[in-house]
């Protein structure tokens, strides 16, 4: 079996992008919960994200959400982030919180509303120019609730036209990543409900358009690692939104509900060339910490991804391939499971210490006093929230 010392160097440079909204207040459809120390500005969100990176060495990028993170000077915000030791990453658009988009945005029958949504994406691209961001991520809360409510084919045609207009505005070094979600908030049909629909649209757009796979956006029982393998095979996996769920889009800490699933996904990522310095696949988190502390929640999340990455790297790929080729069903499964059951926590702690990081980032954060400091300092003003 492969040993940790053999894969240690392969863990170098792992980057997990954290979302700015993970540090703001969030909740359910019934209530948004306030917590002490919640950021009041995007600068305070960046400071919290930089703290996660400082304790883990795994989170050098921060995703922004427009308009939640609008500022007057994004070039200055970029410099502010860099001074904190992080960079601004993916820019996420928002066409789901404006009354005009009640019946759709990029798919709306009214050309004026579609143009409004397109113009919002043009604004996001302008932000990308200022922040140096590579990816524009689009998630559409669009669809219908009742049969006959909308023209399913017509909505797809309008979506394709709108995406083409946005894609053509991108610079040569920028990408469009299209997320999918099989339901919610629309319940009869969603305009981009699955990886196949997203793939069909991005394949038509061109070589700088990719699929974003959110691990919580699938029907129960879906084999997500198969989708990963297929998108890598097609060269169209652009990014992950890592989270965890028990029922639907729960946005819980990645690996919390099914660490074995996370392991299987990461094994296929590594197997398919989606991991390492030559890969363009972005690892991102998309989580909301409703009841747990937000910074420790993000620290735990990136550590979970790192741990399952290490376990996936431990798979003896040569032995596995030989067992698969010979048709030895149980041996092939045993080789995979041996890696999954290997406890790498002590090895990762030593790995971190060798690189000047705390062996236990969670404990180090709790002992640092940062949480007590922000709870004392961030009094007054309006706390940031998803709504």
User: Hey, what are 384's tokens?
Assistant: 């940031």
pLDDT in the model for residue 32:
84
Burial class (CB in 10 A: 0-12, 13-18, 19+), 40: middle
Quick check: 126 pLDDT over 80?
Answer: yes
Facing residues of 62 across strands? 18, 88
User: Hey, what are 271's tokens?
Assistant: 């197997």
- Please give the share of the chain, as a percent, with pLDDT higher than 90: 93
**Residue listed under structure tokens 């996370």:** 262
Nearest by Cα to 197 from 248, 247, 236, 168: 236
Encode pLDDT of 73-102 as tens digits: 999 999 999 999 999 999 999 999 999 999
Handedness of CA 372, 373, 377, 380 (dihedral sign): negative
* Average pLDDT estimate for 161-174: 98
Facing residues of 178 across strands? 138, 211
Quick check: 238 pLDDT over 90?
Answer: yes
Widest pairwise Cα distance in the chain = 67
CA–CA separation, 272 vs 284, rounded Å?
A: 18
* Average pLDDT estimate for 221-247: 97
- Please give the share of the chain, as a percent, with pLDDT higher than 70: 99
CA–CA separation, 21 vs 27, rounded Å?
A: 12
Encode pLDDT of 16-60 as tens digits: 999 999 999 887 778 888 889 999 999 999 999 999 999 999 999
CA–CA separation, 98 vs 95, rounded Å?
A: 7
The pLDDT confidence band at residue 227, using thresholds 50, 70 and 90, is very high
User: Hey, what are 119's tokens?
Assistant: 């113009």
Question: Please, what is the average pLDDT of the chain?
Answer: 96
Quick check: 387 pLDDT over 70?
Answer: no
Burial class (CB in 10 A: 0-12, 13-18, 19+), 279: middle
User: Hey, what are 9's tokens?
Assistant: 């160097």
Encode pLDDT of 309-342 as tens digits: 999 999 999 999 999 999 999 999 999 999 999 9
User: Helices 294-313 and 345-354, interaxial angle, to 10°?
Assistant: 110
Name the CA dihedral angle for 139, 19, 295, 184, rounded to a multiple of 10 degrees.
0
* Dihedral class, residue 347 (left if φ above 0, else alpha if ψ from -120 to 50, else beta): alpha
Name the CA dihedral angle for 242, 247, 249, 251, rounded to a multiple of 10 degrees.
-50
DSSP 312-330: HHTS-HHHHHHHHHHT-HH
CA–CA separation, 96 vs 120, rounded Å?
A: 12
CA–CA separation, 72 vs 70, rounded Å?
A: 7
Q: Does domain 12-313 have CATH number 3.40.630.10?
A: no
């Amino acid at each position: 079996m492969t040993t940790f010392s053999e894969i240690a160097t392969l863990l170098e440079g792992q980057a997990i992008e954290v979302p700015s909204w993970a540090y703001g207040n969030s909740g359910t459809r019934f209530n948004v919960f306030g917590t002490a120390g919640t950021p009041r500005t995007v600068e305070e969100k960046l400071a919290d994200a930089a703290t996660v990176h400082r304790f883990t060495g795994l989170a050098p990028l921060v995703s922004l959400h427009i308009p939640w993170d609008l500022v007057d000077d994004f070039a200055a915000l970029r410099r502010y982030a860099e001074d904190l030791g992080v960079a601004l990453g993916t820019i996420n658009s928002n066409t789901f919180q404006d009354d005009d988009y009640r019946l759709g945005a990029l798919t709306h029958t009214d050309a004026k509303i579609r143009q409004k949504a397109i113009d919002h994406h043009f604004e996001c691209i302008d932000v990308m120019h200022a922040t140096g961001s590579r990816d524009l991520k689009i998630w559409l809360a669009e669809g219908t609730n009742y049969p006959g409510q909308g023209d399913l084919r017509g909505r797809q045609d309008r979506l394709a036209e709108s995406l083409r207009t946005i894609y053509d505005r991108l610079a040569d070094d920028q990408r469009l990543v299209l997320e999918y979600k099989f339901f919610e908030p629309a319940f009869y049909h969603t305009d981009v409900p699955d990886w196949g629909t997203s793939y069909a649209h991005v394949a038509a757009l061109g070589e700088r358009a990719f699929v974003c796979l959110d691990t919580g956006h699938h029907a129960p029982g879906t084999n997500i690692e198969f989708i990963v393998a297929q998108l890598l095979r097609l060269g169209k996996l652009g990014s992950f939104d890592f989270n965890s769920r028990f029922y639907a889009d729960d946005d819980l800490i990645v690996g919390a509900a099914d660490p074995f699933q996370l392991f299987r996904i990461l094994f296929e990522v590594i197997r398919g060339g989606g991991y390492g310095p030559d890969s363009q696949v972005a690892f991102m988190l998309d989580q909301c910490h409703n009841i747990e502390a937000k910074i420790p929640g993000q620290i735990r999340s990136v550590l979970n991804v790192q741990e399952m990455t290490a376990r996936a790297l431990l798979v003896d790929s040569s032995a596995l391939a030989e067992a698969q080729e010979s048709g030895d069903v149980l041996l092939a499964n045993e080789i995979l499971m041996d890696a999954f059951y290997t406890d790498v926590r002590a090895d990762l702690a030593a790995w971190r210490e060798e690189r000047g990081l705390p062996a236990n980032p969670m404990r180090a954060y709790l002992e640092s006093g940062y949480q007590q400091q922000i709870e004392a300092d961030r009094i007054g003003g309006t706390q940031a929230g998803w709504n």
